[in-house]
Structure 1
């Protein structure tokens, strides 16, 4: 009779979730983080262990689970050093706040505030009153509103001034920015029609003149911050 040997995937020897939950230190973790959160961390650690060639010991899995728990308690945002050479880096928080701005935020944010309260009338106010005047003074605009990002601002502007009408955009400015926001899709969402002007590498003032018609709602000038075309190029300025 041929001798038989026991073979198989060593990861089959991984401890079960129930057995890990019975460890003394795990019970102590549950008192701090709650049993459900601890169980989720253990489940993740076991899942990662299955991706290894060799099955780790229970202590290793417990260590991984503990790291998951402690890492989750750390703030997601942290201070970094900007060594990119880009002063206003969108991925690194853009412009750092000045000490005066930080003190002003701390002074207001540590208590209640008049965010939407009119101090003179004693009635509900408008939160945009705090920034509208400053923005109008800086830009010369008649009115102002603050939104979350540039994409939201584009959609609002196009919807307000060109809904159901044509929006002229240079072909070289039909870009996609971070967050998968595409200029053509934003114009469509705003209820306007995109009219492409010029070519990818060269768009002149005359191209806009020829495209303007009775159905034109606005001309959209897009700053292609995340890419650059070099060589035989030309674009119409704002002057």
Structure 2
């Protein structure tokens, strides 16, 4: 027993381990040291082996957000926070973390519109929109639209578009919580323009067109186009609100079937809502784009105050739009040959360390409810399944497939390949 106790690592040795660097930075040296001391005591009491002190100390650290390497093959993984911010956006958040001129005009010293610079950049990115506004997520954008335009009235919507979103939240429940009533038209698989025309009347607040971003209906299906709906709504003097979901501002050649704000607005939609933390590659927020009269009506509604975004979100959104290159865009456009070359290089390095690793071709997905059914060619490092749990404990997430554990590289920046290598070695 005494010999075993002598094998317990010293406190300074454990704290110097690179695996604790992030925890020290996030929690402070004192809190991390307390976890190490507790782990050492458990080793002295014979509850764990001396070699387990490192892992036990990490387990004892307080919870909180940790940086995760996303090797799942899902570019926009909702459980991992969706889009990774660009370096420009991260730097903008850092700069905005102090006192800022978020509602102040420095030239005049008077109060100014909140986030006016971010709004100006967003408006420039979508010239088809007469006006823009931002709230804290896309669900909030729909709630604001329903409250301001249809409380006590009807929202006409196809039955085939009444979706359930994340964590069991259902869009119909969200909409009726505002005091609006749903007027469902058509069927699950087919809704005709005549169905909408028959439903529009004096009680109509607006017609809602929802892109089914997280599922596909194939076979005997049919829906009127945005242009056809816009013409119908215009003839009846009601607004057409479109929810494009995944947040493309303009067409994306890699995802030709994914709707975008520019196309829907040019087709005649009066108001378009979208997410900021999906294919746009920015922070979580909800975008409202469209006719100036409608956007201003929503912006001035009392509920808008409760749904407004903070200065950090505004800073990140502005930087994302100004610089355009984002980790999401780079992952989406990564060349298959480059991904396979990286996988082969990593696998070869791991084999020199006696790790059973091979490079394999695979398929990645967009995630975040975007581009359902689209499979992007990718490449992964294939490891024995036993690596899955220890890698997860080190905040490296892959996926199980055919009895192997795959580290898909499409959503992993090339500069993080070294971190993947070190993590796998630590799990041998």
TM category, shorter: 0.5 to 0.7
Q: What is the aligned length?
A: 190
Q: Residue 120 of structure 2 aligns with which residue?
A: 133
Paired position in structure 2 for 1:120:
107
Helix, strand or coil for the counterpart of 1:221? strand
Give the structure with higher Rg (CA).
Answer: 1
Mapped partners of 1:173, 1:58: distance in 2: 60
- The change in CA–CA distance for 1:223 and 1:77 in structure 2 (over 3 A counts) is farther
TM-score scaled by structure 1?
0.65
Runs of 4+ in 1 over 6 A off after TM superposition: none
Residues 16-42 of structure 1: CA distance to partner in whole angstroms, max 9, x if unpaired?
xxxxxxxxx9xxxxx9339xx97xx99
Tell me which of 162, 165, 172 is aligned to 2:153: 165
The answer for the alignment partner of 2:59 in structure 1 is 68
The corresponding residue for 2:179 is 191
1:149 counterpart = 2:137: yes
After superposition, the C-alpha distances for 1:52-83 in whole angstroms (9 at most, x for unaligned) are xxxxx95427968644333x37x624242455
Q: What are the within-5 Å matches in structure 2 for residues 56-95 of structure 1?
A: 58-60=45-47, 66-70=57-61, 72=62, 76-84=65-73, 87-95=75-83
Classify 1:169/1:110 alpha carbon distance in 2 versus 1 (closer, same or farther; 3 Å): closer
For 1:128 and 1:169, how far apart are their aligned partners in 2?
33
1:87 Cα deviation after fit:
4.6
Match of 2:206 among 197, 214, 218: 218
Of 94-103 and 157-166, more deviation after overlay is shown by 94-103
- Name the CA distance, whole Å, in 2 between partners of 1:33 and 1:89: 31
TM-score (norm. length: structure 2): 0.39
The 1-side partners of 2:93 and 2:159 are apart by: 42
Which consecutive residues of structure 2, in runs of 5 or more, have no partner in the other structure?
Answer: 1-10, 12-28, 228-428
Cα 1:96–1:32, aligned 2, differ >3 Å: closer, same or farther? closer
For the residues of structure 2 that align with 1:102 and 1:76, how far apart are their CA atoms?
A: 16
Shift of 1:212: 0.8
Task: Determine the C-alpha separation between the residues in 2 that align with 1:209 and 1:123.
Answer: 49
CA RMSD of aligned residues (A): 3.5
Unaligned ranges ≥5, structure 1: 1-24, 26-30, 43-56
Conserved 8 A contact 2:68-2:80: no
Higher strand share: 2
